[in-house]
Amino acid sequence: MKNKVVFILIAAFLGTLFLFSCRGEQEKKTEINTHWKFAKIIDLNNVNPIGIVAQGDFLWLSDVDNNRIVKIDLDGKIIESFDGFQRPMHIAIQKGKIYVPEYTSDSLKILEDGKVSIYKLKEKPDAIAGVSIDGNTAAVADFYNNRIILQRDNKVTIIGKEGHKDGELYYPTDVEISNDLIYVADAYNNRVQVFDLNGNYVRMIGWNEGIKVATGVKVTDSQVIVADFEGNRVLVYDLNGKLLQILSDKFNQPTDIEIVNNKMYVVNYKRSSILVFYK
């Protein structure tokens, strides 16, 4: 009888140990899966990109120096080029439409099947640096007015004002709407700030990492990724702002990030290239 009890106890102990070790492995595996690894560089020919969005097997870039939008394949070859944009910055895509903020003209333009139309903004911006579209909602980063213009159908909500405190902005350059939250690349406050759709401040991301200029932001279902232009880094956080990873190799003034099919594309403005990472 005693032997049986001892045997059962030992078996239970070993079983528990086994289960814990499995869980540890699982956690380790999950942790590894949050990390990005360098894959390759795509060199661009005479393109100095600010913004990037993906569409199928193609990438769209805003070529700010050459006042155009280009569509490239995954080897960097230009497939199509659309001239005549006035300093296009951080672009967005929805249902095949490319939304192009023009920094010089203060217009938000839509490029669809080679034709250009205008998205009417109810509030006048001064230098649109970035745009995000989510259904009928548009958010634009109003650089010189230090604010985000959030336009939902006919309703306009102004988010932020000039300053350095929580909820205040200092030259915002990019914006993204994700799960009813607005993520703002608060460039010269060296951080990303998160707001709700009513413009209320929710949280701050990246304050402790000494970001030099938070130029671009990309949000997935589990990560917030920030391009640090002057710091030549890309920082990866979870949705609550916990730092997961810092990528700092091969960057040369990164400005924007796109993620598609578990691959991350980061544009280098100065080196005129795209860095590709995988998980």
Partner 1 sequence: MKTLLKTGIITLLTFATFILSTTNVNAQTKNETDKIYIKIEVDGLSCPFCAYGLEKKLKQAGSKDVLINLEEGEATMSVPKEQQPTEEELRKIVKDAGFTPKEIIFSKTPFKIKKDEE
Within 10 angstroms of residue 134's Cβ, the number of other Cβ atoms is 17
253 binds partner 1 (CB under 8 A): yes
Residue indicated by tokens 């960057």: 251
85 binds partner 1, rule: CB under 8 A: no
Q: Which of 269, 272, 275, 277 binds partner 1 (CB under 8 A)?
A: 269
Among 60, 82, 99, 103, binds partner 1 (CB under 8 A): 103
Residue 265 contacts partner 1 per CB under 8 A: no
**Helix, strand, coil tally for the chain in percent (to 5):** 15, 50, 35
Q: For partner 1, what does the binding mask look like between residues 123 and 162, x meaning CB under 8 A?
A: ----x-x-------------xx------------------
String marking each residue 23-52 x if it binds partner 1 according to CB under 8 A: -------------------------x-x--
107 scored as a contact of partner 1 (CB under 8 A): no
- Given a contact cutoff of 8 angstroms between Cβ atoms, the answer to whether 169 and 204 are in contact is no
Q: Which of 123, 134, 168, 230 binds partner 1 (CB under 8 A)?
A: 230
Find the shortest distance in angstroms from Cβ 127 to partner 1: 6
Distance CA 275, CA 43 (A): 9
Q: Other C-beta atoms within 10 Å of 246: how many? A: 13
Give the shortest CB-229-to-partner 1 separation in angstroms. Answer: 6
Give, as ranges, the residues between 199 and 218 that touch partner 1 (CB under 8 A).
213, 215
Strands of 95-232 (E only): list them. 97-101, 108-112, 115-119, 128-134, 137-142, 147-152, 155-159, 174-178, 181-186, 191-196, 201-205, 214-219, 223-228
Beta strands 128-134 and 147-152 are: unpaired
Show contacts with partner 1 in window 166-205 (CB under 8 A). Answer: 171, 173, 187
Hey, which residues between 49 and 78 contact partner 1 (CB under 8 A)?
Answer: 50, 64-65
* Sheet strands (E) in 179-271: 181-186, 191-196, 201-205, 214-219, 223-228, 233-238, 243-247, 254-260, 263-268
Could you say whether residue 229 binds partner 1 (CB under 8 A)?
A: yes
Residues at the interface with partner 1 (CB under 8 A) = 48, 50, 64-65, 87, 89, 103-104, 127, 129, 143-144, 171, 173, 187, 213, 215, 229-230, 253, 255, 269
